[in-house]
């Protein structure tokens, strides 16, 4: 499952100028209830707060009956918008990509939230690689938020292509909030113009809806959260079980809906 938790962090929620207000308890409980209903084996999250908030989140999951003994947490500096991967399966290798940079004119910029890459040993015979990403938001930036996101996507694709070059049949899954639509330049940078690198799995909810995000400011539904699979991973995909989660508490929990994708723990590709 991949889930943008909706500012599960410390922030200035009361307008006093201090970023010391935790996500409201009702919203946190809704997040935990949704995850507990789905019971994912592997959970990738975006917009998780500082290390203390992350530990509170893990403890709340444990209290709800979800124990993830293996975890990777990526934080850039003092950010309150971070990435994490929690897993029932051993994480045999992890790489925190924090050094990726790109140029725009005279400016050299880092990928704002980095990329979290982990290898999972699902069974003795089956492994997969998961890259968690959260690209630049659509919030205005003087340099152009669209071009910034496209550059971040290009650097994410660099890690994808490296993995595919090392092993063309690798079970590779890229998940997260990519903050752009399926036809955008950013998504084409990641998947390749003809999906030569990754395939958009595009699960839907039980009503057939694929949207993952609701913007209150623009009164707009959009699909900006993704699960993108390599050909090797796509061959193991169980489309009939996979879904965008439709739950009574999704609107209380976050402005995003989680994506829960299922795979056979065996290589189906010839």
State the DSSP string of 204-253: --TTS----EEETTTTEEE--EEEEE-HHHHTTB-TTT-EE---TTHHHH
Using alpha carbons, select from 4, 9, 6, 31 the residue that is nearest to residue 19. Answer: 9
Residue 193 pLDDT:
84
Output the domain CATH number for residue 20: 3.60.10.10
pTM: 0.96
Which ranges of the chain does DSSP label H, i.e. alpha helix?
25-38, 51-63, 145-166, 185-191, 231-234, 250-253
In a domain, 270, yes or no: no
Which letter does DSSP use for residue 80 in this model? S
- Find, among 117, 118, 188, 116, the residue nearest to 149 by Cα: 188
Tokens of 244: 């965008």
Q: Is residue 269 part of a domain?
A: no
CA-closest candidate to residue 232, choices 186, 192, 258, 264: 264
Let me know: does 14 contact 264? Beta carbons within 8 Å: no
Q: Which domain holds residue 134?
A: 2-260
* Confidence (pLDDT) at 53: 97
Q: Any bridge partners for residue 104, and if so which?
A: 107
Residue 265 belongs to a domain: no
Instruction: Give the Cβ contact number of residue 180 at 10 Å.
Output: 26
Domain assignment present for residue 129? The answer is: yes
Q: Widest CA span of the chain, in angstroms? A: 60
Number of other CB atoms surrounding residue 242 within 10 Å = 17
Q: Is 248 a member of any domain?
A: yes
pLDDT along the chain (270 residues), means of 10: 97 90 96 98 98 97 98 93 98 97 93 97 97 94 93 98 97 98 96 92 98 93 98 97 97 98 88
Please classify residue 43 by burial: count the beta carbons closer than 10 Å to its beta carbon, then call 0-12 exposed, 13-18 middle and 19+ buried: buried
Q: How many domains does the chain have?
A: 1
User: Does some domain include residue 126?
Assistant: yes
Helix (H, G, I), strand (E, B) or coil at 82: strand
Strands 2-8 and 42-48: parallel
pLDDT, position 270: 57
Question: Residue 224 domain-assigned?
Answer: yes
The answer to the question of residue 236 being in a domain is: yes
């Amino acid at each position: 499952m991949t889930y943008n938790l909706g500012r599960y962090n410390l922030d200035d929620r009361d307008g006093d100028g201090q970023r010391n207000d935790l996500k409201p308890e009702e919203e946190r409980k809704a997040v935990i209830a949704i995850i507990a209903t789905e019971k994912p084996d592997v959970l990738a999250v975006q917009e998780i707060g500082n290390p203390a908030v992350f530990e509170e989140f893990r403890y709340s999951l444990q209290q709800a009956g979800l124990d993830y003994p293996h975890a990777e947490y990526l934080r850039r500096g003092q950010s309150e918008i971070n990435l994490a991967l929690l897993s029932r399966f051993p994480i045999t290798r992890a790489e925190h990509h924090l050094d990726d940079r790109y140029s725009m004119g005279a400016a050299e910029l880092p990928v704002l939230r980095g990329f979290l890459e982990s290898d999972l040993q699902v069974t003795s015979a089956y492994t997969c690689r998961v890259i968690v990403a959260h690209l630049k938001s659509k919030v205005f930036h003087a340099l152009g938020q669209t071009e910034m996101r496209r550059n971040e996507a290009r650097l994410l694709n660099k890690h994808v292509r490296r993995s595919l070059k090392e092993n063309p049949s690798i079970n590779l899954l890229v998940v997260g909030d990519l903050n752009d639509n399926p036809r955008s330049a950013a998504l084409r940078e990641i998947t390749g113009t003809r999906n030569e690198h990754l395939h958009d799995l595009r699960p839907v909810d039980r009503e057939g809806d694929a949207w993952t995000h609701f913007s209150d400011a623009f009164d707009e539904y959009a699909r900006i959260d993704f699960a993108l699979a390599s050909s090797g991973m796509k061959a193991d995909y169980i489309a009939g079980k996979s879904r965008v989660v439709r739950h009574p508490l999704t609107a209380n929990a976050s402005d995003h809906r989680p994506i829960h994708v299922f795979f056979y723990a065996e290589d189906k590709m010839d």
